[in-house]
Chain A
Amino acid sequence: DIQMTQSPSSLSVSVGDRVTIPCRASQSISTNLNWYQQKPGKAPDLLIYDASSLQSGVPSRFSGSGSGTDFTLTISSLQPEDFATYYCQQSYSTPQTFGQGTKLEIK
């Protein structure tokens, strides 16, 4: 299985900050990398697919980059509603695997 690593597991940030969340794959996955936002008690929402494509309806302050093994989710100016946990997921090979998540906390 491909291991997805998200470190740190939490980030203390402030409204208005530019936030970057890293994700690393244990082997090359091309650009088959997806990002989700999950709020407490809710299902994950797809933000970015194929490393850099913005899912329909997602605000443009979210962007994704990377290829191979290293990927980044960027929030250009953090809004109050963005405090949540963010997961990366590889869709390069089965079983599709997720990172352990990065939780954005209020500084």
Chain B
Amino acid sequence: QVQLQESGPGLVKSSETLSLSCTVSGGSLSNFYWSWIRQPPGKGLEWIAYIYSTGLINYNPSLKSRVTISVDTPKNQFSLRLKSVTAADTAVYYCARNKGGYGLAAFDIWGQGTMVTVSS
């Protein structure tokens, strides 16, 4: 079955850029939307952005000025870059699949999550 795995540094310095990748195994990126979602410690979930396998993108307006999402179909990966990070960006970052091939959808498959801490 399809599995997702996040990778990237667990510690990022304040004002620098957070970079994460999500590798899709057991299936193809094609014909689905893929999202990044984050969860600060002890808090709720925040959707960051989604990307379609062909490159169609939608960002959360609250983060749009700092976020870039991209896809590498041959590698079966998609990635997140968040620039100018602050302590408020400290969170567990999840990659997820949007269900049914729709952008606006439930998230039916999730990665295990990766904790990213922003240090001063």
C-alpha spacing A1/B102, complex, angstroms: 19
In contact, A91 and B104 (Cβ under 8 angstroms): yes
Chain B 79-120 interface residues, beta-carbon cutoff 8 Å to A: 94, 96, 99, 102-108, 110-113
- Chain A residues closer than 8 Å to B107, beta-carbon distance: 34, 36, 44, 46, 89
Give the 8 A-B CB pairs with smallest separation, nearest first. A43-B110, A34-B106, A49-B106, A95-B60, A98-B45, A96-B47, A91-B104, A100-B44
Chain A 1-46 interface residues, beta-carbon cutoff 8 Å to B: 1, 32, 34, 36, 42-46
Does residue B46 face the partner (Cβ distance < 8 Å to A)? yes
Q: Which of A42, A45, A87, A93 contacts B104 (CB 8 A)?
A: A93
- Chain A residues closer than 8 Å to B45, beta-carbon distance: 44, 87, 89, 98
In contact, B99 and A46 (Cβ under 8 angstroms): yes
Known: A55-B108, A94-B104. A49 touches B99 (CB 8 A): yes
In contact, B44 and A101 (Cβ under 8 angstroms): yes
- Chain A residues closer than 8 Å to B104, beta-carbon distance: 32, 91-94, 96
Does residue B27 face the partner (Cβ distance < 8 Å to A)? no
C-alpha spacing A32/B99, complex, angstroms: 12
Interface residues on B, range: 20 to 34
Q: Quick one: closest B residue to A56, CB to CB?
A: B108
B-side residues, CB < 8 A to A, are: 44-47, 58, 60-62, 94, 96, 99, 102-108, 110-113
**By the criterion of a CB under 8 Å from any partner CB, how many residues of chain A are at the interface?**
25
- Chain A residues closer than 8 Å to B102, beta-carbon distance: 91
Give min CB distance, B110 to chain A, whole Å: 4
In contact, B58 and A43 (Cβ under 8 angstroms): no
C-alpha spacing A99/B43, complex, angstroms: 11
Q: Quick one: closest A residue to B104, CB to CB?
A: A91
Does residue A97 face the partner (Cβ distance < 8 Å to B)? yes
Known: A46-B99, A95-B61. 15 other contacts (CB 8 A): A43-B96, A43-B111, A43-B113, A44-B107, A44-B110, A46-B107, A49-B105, A55-B106, A91-B106, A94-B58, A94-B60, A95-B60, A95-B62, A96-B47, A96-B104
